[in-house]
Amino acid sequence: MAWKRNLPYLALLIAILFPIFVRDPYFLHAAIMILFSAYLASSWNIIGGLAGQHSFGHSAFLGIGAYSSTLLLLYLNIPPFLGMILGGMIASLVSIGIGYPCFKLRGPYFALSTLAFTEIFRIVVTTTETIGGIDLRGAAGILIPLRKGNSFLNFQFADKTFYYYIILAMLFLILFIYKRMEKSRLGIFLSAIRDNEEAARSLGISATRYKMIALIVSGFFGATAGTFYAQFFLYIEPILFSSALSIEILLVAIVGGAGTLTGPLIGALMLTPVSEMTRAYLGGTYAGVQLILYGAILVAVMMFAPQGIVPPLSRRYRSLFERRA
C-alpha cells in the first residue's frame, strides 16, 4: 500500500529531475510537448470529463488565448504572463457566449454545435487580415519577435528547461484544481449531471449553471495553454482554431480516461511520443502517419475500453491490492 500512496510523489520527483539528467534537446522538446498536451487535455477534462459534456470546440479557447496574449504583447506591450491571465478571462467571457446556446443541447447536438463554433472562429480568423487597425494576418499567422536570453518578463527563454518547468508547474496546478473541484460540492453536482441530467435537475440542481461554471474554468485554462504555445513556438496561426485540433485534444483525454484525474496525463504519455516519433523519423513527407495511428488508437480504445485506459487499470490494481490486504 505504501508505495502506491507515494507513487504520485515519485512521478513528480522524476519529472522535476528529468531535465537535470536528460540534456538532449530533442528529448526535452518531446517532454515539453507531452506535458503541454496533458495540460491542454486536462483543461478539456473539466468540461468534457468532470461535467461529461463532450465539447468538440476546445481549440477555440486555445486559439483565443494564443491570439489574445500575442496581440496584447505586440500592440500594448503587455507581458505575456499577464496576457495569459487576460487571455484566459477573454476566453471565459467567450465561453459564456458559447455555453448559452450550446447547453440547451445534449450529446451529439452539443458536440456538433461546439464544433460549429470553433469552425466559425477558424474561418473568421483565416480570412481577416486586419480588424480595427490590428493586423491578424489571416492565414499567414503572426510571428512573435525573438528576444535574446532568458526573461520571465518576455516569457522567452533560450534555455528550453525554463519552458519545461513552467508547463510542469501549470500541469501540477490544473491537476490540483481538478482534484479540488472533483471533491467539492460543485464537482458532485457536475458528476450527478454527467450521469443523469434529468435526475439531477429533478433534485433541484441547476444543470445549466453548473455546466457553465465548468465551461468557464475549462475555457480559462484552455486559453492559458494557447499563450504557452505562442511563447514556445513564437508563431501562431488560424490552425489553432481548427476542429481537427479539437478532436486531437479530446482524443488525448478520452484515450487516457475522461473524467479521471490522471487520464489526460496518461493519454498524453501514450499519444504524444507517437506523434513526436513519426515527426522525427518520417519527417514532413509522411505528415499523415501520426493521424492514421491516432485514428486507429481512437477506434481501438472505443471498441475495447470506451472509458479510456485509466479506469480498467486502476480497477485491476485496486483488486490486486485488496487481495493482498
Which spans of this chain sit near another protein (rule: CB under 8 A)? 54, 101-102, 104-105, 107-109, 111-113, 115-117, 119-120, 123-124, 126-127, 243, 247, 250-251, 254, 286-289, 291-292, 294-299, 302-303, 306
SS3 144: coil
Measured distance CA(238)–CA(129) in Å, rounded: 12
Helices 80-102, 207-233: axis angle to 10 degrees equals: 140
Residues 30 and 272 sit within 8 Å (Cβ to Cβ): yes
Q: Say if CB 8 and CB 262 are below 8 A apart.
A: no
Q: Which is nearer to another protein, 82 or 291 (CB)?
A: 291
- Least CB distance to another protein at residue 37 (A): 16
Return the number of the residue (56 or 164) whose C-beta is nearest another protein.
56
Least distance in angstroms from the C-beta of 303 to another protein: 7
Placement of cell 535574446 in the chain: 148
CB of 85 or CB of 293, closer to another protein: 293
Residue with smaller CB distance to another protein, 101 or 312: 101
Grid cell in block for residue 44: 478539456
Query: How far is the first Cα of the chain from the last one, in angstroms, to the nearest whole number?
Result: 9
Asked whether the CA dihedral 48, 221, 267, 113 is positive or negative, the reply is positive
Count of Cβ atoms closer than 10 Å to residue 128 Cβ: 15
Q: At closest approach, how far in Å is the CB of 250 from another protein?
A: 8
Cβ burial of 243 (10 Å; 0-12, 13-18, 19+) is: buried
Over its C-alpha atoms, the chain yields an Rg (Å, rounded) of 20
Which of 151/196 has CB closer to another protein?
196
For residues 236 and 70, the answer to whether their CB atoms sit within 8 Å is yes
Taking the complex as a whole, the smallest distance from the CB of residue 195 to another protein amounts, in Å, to 9
Q: How far is the CB of 297 from another protein (least distance, A)?
A: 8
Query: Which CB, 16 or 120, lies closer to another protein?
Result: 120
